[in-house]
Structure 1
Amino acid sequence: MECRPGCAACCIVVSISSPIPGMPEGKPAGVRCVQLTADNRCGLFGRPERPAVCGSLPASLEMCGTSNEEAFENLRRLEEATRPG
């Protein structure tokens, strides 16, 4: 499965604890990554500055579902289920 162009659910919904250029403390859940372009593409894709965690999130039916809306909901549930405390 490949990412749906313009979705960016994984770049918005999930938290990222590692530093990202422009977000040295990481990215909180629900916050748009500063590296997303206007058309919701990763500005770091294929570049060495891209955090390893971002590259470790391959598109899958379980994560992305069949629509952008489903991706946002699936990832929101995953984020809640894995939140500490």
Structure 2
Amino acid sequence: MRCALFGKPERPAVCGRFKAMADVCGESKSDALWLINELEMATN
């Protein structure tokens, strides 16, 4: 919700096509934030 690229032409097209799904994002905002944090730590 804080992405500075929203509405800008340099935003990658893949971002606009992304559809949140429970198996990727969980069932809630807190699930999604936990999952993205885990992915970021795993790929850091």
Decide: shared fold, TM above 0.5.
Answer: yes
What amino acid is aligned across from residue 64 of structure 1 in structure 2?
C
Higher relative contact order (CA 8 A, sep 6+): 1
- 1:51 and 2:12 correspond: yes
Percent of pairs with identical residues: 45
Q: Which runs of 4+ in 1 moved over 3 A?
A: 55-58
Match of 2:35 in 1: 74
Task: Compute the TM-score of the two structures, normalised by the length of structure 2.
Answer: 0.60
Please give the alpha-carbon distance, in whole angstroms, between the structure 2 residues aligned to 1:70 and 1:55.
Answer: 21
Gap runs ≥5 in structure 1 = 1-7, 9-31, 36-41
Answer yes or no: is the 8 Å Cα contact 1:64–1:70 preserved in 2: yes
State the TM-score, normalizing by the size of structure 1. Answer: 0.38
Q: Is the 8 A contact 1:64 1:74 kept in 2?
A: yes
CA RMSD of superposed structures (Å): 2.4
Number of equivalenced pairs: 44
- Which structure has greater helix proportion? 2
